[in-house]
Amino acid sequence: MRTLVMKFGGTTLARAEGLTQLVGIVLYERERWDRLMLVVSALDGVTDQLIDAAHLAQFAQQRGYRRIVSNLRQRHLALAESLPLDQNERSVLQANIDTLLSDMLTMCEALGDASSGHSASDSFDEIIGVGERLTARIVAALLRHSGLRSVALDTTELIITDNVRANAKPDMEATSARMETQLLPMLERGIMPVLTGFIGATMTGKPTTLGRGGSDYTAAILGVCANATEIWIWTDVDGVMSADPLEIAEARPIRNLSITEATEMAFFGTRVLHPRMLLLLRGRDIALRVRNLFAPQQPGTLVRDSSAQLSEGLQAVTSIAALALQSSSSGSLASMTALVDDVFFNTIGTHTDITITTQSPMHTLICFVVPNAAGQEAVHTLSAALEDRMQEKSTWHVKPVSIITAIGAQDAISLAGCLQIVTALAEIPILAIDYSPARCGISVVINVRDTEFAINRLHQTIVH
Ligand code: ADP
Ligand code: ASP
Ligand code: MG
């Protein structure tokens, strides 16, 4: 049975043009696959607003969260208004949007009302997951209007997770079992479910979310549980590119990537690829494609888990924010790493994944990658939290830095390649250098102010 999972990102759904493209693609692909599953994100920027609303609610800032809810209502109703729906379908959709947002308002009110006995974590994830539930209803209505038997399906019914706030992990066995009983029969009856990305629920039904950018992860979870043939991530760029096209105008698409290269890119900051999605797909025979919804004629990028070499030479440059801890002493790093991990987990809900360490008898530098999924404020928040906790360890200093990584095929980076990279950056101070154990990447730790220069220079040097 050939199964395709297609995920549509927030960058693609925000405009009516993206929704029209989506319908055309679904109508075309449904003829070519035995089973088709659709996963949708919230509209671009909506999850940020929902997180703001949840935070305001925790401080009972009524005017703030009410303004956000009214803004979201206007935006979604305007989108529904711009779609070619018949009057009945449009009214039902408008009523659905109103209900979801008024329920959310009630949750915000309860969160701010100490006397309700609500603890912050009770409804935080439920509030921030409303964006996906809104888009699923919009897309399903549009597909019904195009003649398909489509329904919006909240993955709180389907994806069973642990109870970690804002960063839950799936229980793959329980999720597969739910899929067998709830989703597959629907597909067999010819119904096209539009599934919410990003959200799940615990075994007892408490709503959870899978971390920022988590709709890609949802597509992978569902793909693995349904034994999918392919997963397609539809976004707003021509695939995975040699650098972030927002930063480098000359960035060009990469046709093929191995899962090792893609994972390296994801962990070192390539937003279009989700690290946990790639870890889940490792060792499985599922092809992952990243494609541009606004240019579907482009081939996009194919990511495969294959022992065969898929690409040649250096492919891409990435950058990511990090925190460097420096000390004018050496010795065991275990206590410091444990302390930072604790601060990361308590502040952004994830453990420290990647560190770069260099040590000499009189100096130590440990650099902790701050995952993109933690959001833009994370560096600042983590830095402040660390300063607080490190008061008793006065020999250590914390400072925000950038990590720039050149990534290529396994063994693509020889010593000569390292030299080429370091020479290209000769004009700026390099605080540390790290050669990936998979021998497909070299990372340099630099001061934040040199980030733009370094990405540009490395892109010119290595990507021809
Ligand atoms: P979506 O809403 O589709 O999930 P994201 O914002 O999560 O979109 O990811 C798509 C964005 O990732 C692109 O708009 C692009 O700016 C950014 N990006 C960063 N690095 C890269 C890269 N190397 N290749 C492609 N896109 C990248
Ligand atoms: N809407 C969620 C977020 O903004 C999930 C996603 O877009 O993948 O993080
Ligand atoms: Mg994304």
Asked if residue 268 is part of any domain, the answer here is no
Whether residue 118 is found in the same domain as residue 231: yes
Band of pLDDT at residue 462, cut at 50, 70 and 90: confident
Whether residue 232 is found in the same domain as residue 319: no
Asked if residue 84 is part of any domain, the answer here is yes
Report whether residue 198 contacts ligand 2, using a CB cutoff of 6 Å: yes
CATH assignment at residue 390: 3.30.2130.10
Whether residue 202 is found in the same domain as residue 344: no
Domain count, the chain: 2
- The residue type of 309 is Q
Report whether residue 131 contacts ligand 2, using a CB cutoff of 6 Å: yes
What's the pLDDT score for residue 415?
78
Band of pLDDT at residue 119, cut at 50, 70 and 90: low
Helix (H, G, I), strand (E, B) or coil at 13: helix
Output the CA 240–ligand 1 centroid distance in Å.
Answer: 8
Whether residue 28 is found in the same domain as residue 172: yes
- Ranges 138-152, 344-358, 416-430, most confident: 138-152
CATH assignment at residue 88: 3.40.1160.10
Whether residue 205 is found in the same domain as residue 354: no
Domain boundary residue, one of 198, 219, 236: 236
Whether residue 71 is found in the same domain as residue 219: yes
Domain boundary residue, one of 236, 265, 294: 236
Output the CA 233–ligand 3 centroid distance in Å.
Answer: 9
Whether residue 9 is found in the same domain as residue 137: yes
Whether residue 336 is found in the same domain as residue 188: no
Per the structure, the complete domain to which residue 154 belongs is given by 3-236
CA-nearest residue for atom 4, ligand 2, is 47
Whether residue 322 is found in the same domain as residue 231: no
Asked if residue 429 is part of any domain, the answer here is yes
For 114-167, give the secondary structure using H, E and C: HHHCCCHHHHHHHHHCHHHHHHHHHHHHHHHHCCCCEEEECHHHCCEECCCCCC
What's the pLDDT score for residue 374?
87
Residue ranges with CB less than 5 Å from ion ligand 3: 9, 213
Whether residue 117 is found in the same domain as residue 210: yes
Output the CA 237–ligand 1 centroid distance in Å.
Answer: 7
- Does residue 352 register a pLDDT over 80? yes
Q: Which residues contact 407 (CB under 8 A, 6 or more apart)?
A: 261, 264, 265, 268, 314, 315, 316, 317, 318, 440, 441
Percentage of residues in the chain having pLDDT higher than 70: 95
Per residue in 51-70, pLDDT (tens digit) is: 999 999 989 999 999 999 99
Asked if residue 209 is part of any domain, the answer here is yes
Domain boundary residue, one of 217, 236, 255: 236
- Does residue 117 register a pLDDT over 70? no
Of 25, 2, 29, nearest in space to 12 by CA = 25
What's the pLDDT score for residue 15?
84
- Rounded to the nearest integer, the mean pLDDT of the chain is 92
Helix (H, G, I), strand (E, B) or coil at 437: coil
- Does residue 177 register a pLDDT over 80? yes
Asked if residue 385 is part of any domain, the answer here is yes
What's the pLDDT score for residue 307?
54
Asked if residue 146 is part of any domain, the answer here is yes
**What atom of ligand 2 comes closest to residue 210's alpha carbon?**
5
- The residue type of 27 is L
- The residue type of 243 is A
Asked if residue 297 is part of any domain, the answer here is no
Of 455, 355, 352, 446, nearest in space to 407 by CA = 455
Whether residue 214 is found in the same domain as residue 332: no
